[in-house]
Structure 1
């Protein structure tokens, strides 16, 4: 069942990447830059057209408009390519930041057809380099917290040689959710076409997926796979994946498969398809913790469920939200918080469920309380037996 999830979603990932390929006419090198207000940076523009028979002039568009009305950067003069020398196929422009925000720079020409979907430059203008560094640090803190959070459970399973107490529905839904989230992060982070679609919807937004998001989601799939292997080889009692969880997983995979086919037929934008992947992850996050919380309630115990996992998960959720707010502040773009509803929802839901598990472990079913109850029960049984013996005597 789990391998089927992985195989199908990996196939979908390949299809999505296949649909994001286009042919460029010009090339911005680099294709994205990050500067602070008042800073200058040079960008190389190469003309990729080989049969140049006459000069080609380019004029620049700012978020698809000829007028630089927002003034995020200084206006850039038009440039012209000629066929006199090979060097004229490559020219430099200077980008100067004026105010915090985000800008998509494209070009147009009356001589050639330039696609704004593939030929563009992404420009981030921040308030402060120091705050940018702090944002990166916060991002790697939550990456480490969330990544390490998988291992207390793995170590606990290894030491006990048992997965009793670990809900299999949680494992089944978790692998599907993290695989879907990995597809969302990897494609949005690596595909310039999808990024252009995103900035068309959020013209002054900040890309909500960073490198640490990509690495985390890929690592999460690996860690979930390790835990699933443990569930196959260690003592598990009569635990199994319920029919409800299997049905939910099957519905999610079929939904993504149909959506991918529709996207391949060009009736659904690739960005919308990726949002579908992220919504599957978000829905699974809502559902996956419920079986474990219910199991703890029924057993009146958290034995077999690692609290170290929960504490690290809680830390990651807090720092994930903190990074989103810092990004919005640094680029003066508060609407970007909702540009990735999955990331926002994951942070909030993670915190809420972790608070529930912490309450179960340390308040409702804390280990020393369970031990005290067992001792009291033993003492009561002993006293009852002593009373019976005395009566008989």
Structure 2
């Protein structure tokens, strides 16, 4: 896991982008020394105090808010490995106690989910954050890359790619995924950018996040959030790459690192990878052959209908097995494996429907997988089926 160096925090203090107290609070949170709520309270303390003073104008508060959010945006733009933790921190800030500004200048006005135009509230609306984020997104640093001509140009600006990766994470599976965005222009623009059919952008946002940091998963995230990151990063990695060996290898790495970031039992996964249809096998004797994986050496070939993998291949139905010893004909490639999930990867439809590979994940503990794993691994299987030339 990447750790933001102290020099980066020192630079932010020197640039007056943040105070020493704010950098210390964020650093402690990212290193899991304090929880998101405590970090949120410390980071927003200066703004909070300003809002309590009757003499502080809305304009002055907005200036302090923009400075605070600018610090957050710097983290987002520079450190993609921390995106999920930053999203969770923003979520925690939005749930801090309400600050009553009745009778004072409005911080901002917008249309909420009910269609009512009202003043932004501290902290539930995160006033000014989304607009600040959007302004940076449209800045001279990022805007030239909003209509890239090639995949090289898509990756040419790290800040641009990181901002889009963050937007995709928070709006497609993060804490703000269900947000209703009627009147907040900044929020609307960023969420709209995550849609693959958004013509003015012309870029599917996940394709921006193609770098080694794709395999960095923050600790403390939910299984749903980890899988969401897997899918987003996989889609970016597959963009412009249709070689199935390459795509399966990267997918295996993403899954492996995702599981290791999660609590028990997911962190007990001891094998994650793929078997593919053996092109040399006869129609009457179909079999799978070992593909890219993470874990110990494995069985090199498995006949259709044999064991968990062969059954998934034969039936083209996901096999979720809480205890492999109770599965008829189980093939023990690794004696440490206690539970398993196997998901078929199929292409085509109707009579042309064909199995091309299977996702196989083993766990060294019983009941290692559930319907959440099934849901997201089936989405990954669909993505792989359509993103590779088999």
TM beyond 0.5: no
More helix by share: 1
Q: Which has the higher contact order (CA 8 A, sep 6+)?
A: 1
TM-score by length of 1: 0.24
Structure with larger Rg = 1
